[in-house]
Amino acid sequence: MELWHALRIRLVETPTPEVSPGHRSAMDRLWAQAVRANPALFDGPVAALTGLERDGWDGLVLSWARATYRFRALRQVPDAPAWSSLFVTVLQPSDDGRLMVGRMSPSTAAPGRWQLPGGTIEPPDGEGGLDLAGLRRHAARELAEEIGSDTPSDALALWLTTRGTSGNVGVMFVAPPRPADELDERYAELVRTESARGYDPEFDRIELIRSAADLEGLEGPHVDYLEPVVRHYAGGPA
């Protein structure tokens, strides 16, 4: 896991990489199998990461291309071009210094997995580009959808960029601290609202943790960035 404290992030759109007919056929077959296993999967638009470069000592350039979620299936196709994800996450602290983590619901693409609030970046409509302000807005929207937060995008502070072993890159923001009781109440209200509409919340459980050691008490897998990021936030070695 690589961690960068980049103060500047520039996003550059690139053409969507070509996929051979054989690889596309295998991708479509694997996607169909995944949808049969989880009918809630949706082949919506996604911004795929196509490159990462340093820009001086304090900046990063992230290249991206328009794709859809089914392109992730190429990771399972031998000799297919690698497709990495570009995502945002938010560290939501409580006023006593703990961090919120959530467990993905059974209807999501990663059921049972613990992670921070956030999600994969979707490309803008039309020919508009991505920028840091757009990532902030996306991060604030994920907070609202996953934990019921009303934190505005301009209150989110850019903190860290990560790259995992699979090449996925996450841009991380920090939200202002909130009282623990308020975080619990907002999440409970979100669950009530979603359930009344007949939907499952994206997180089926949330927890506030103080250190990476607390992750050991959470049953289920963790996303690859979670332990090093929590450790780094708490002031220990990543």
Each residue of 58-83: pLDDT tens digit? 999 999 999 999 988 888 898 888 78
Residue type, 12: V
Alpha-carbon distances of 78 from 27, 31, 81, 185, rounded to whole Å: 11, 15, 9, 47
Q: Which fold has domain 2-233?
A: Nucleoside Triphosphate Pyrophosphohydrolase (3.90.79)
Single pTM value for the model? 0.92
- Note the pLDDT of residue 156: 97
Going by C-alpha positions, the residue among 66, 76, 64, 84 that lies closest to residue 28 is 76
> pLDDT per residue over 190-203, tens digit each?
999 999 998 889 99
How far apart (Å, rounded) are the C-alpha atoms in residues 159 and 152?
Answer: 16
- Note the pLDDT of residue 236: 57
- β-pairing verdict for 8-13 and 169-174: unpaired
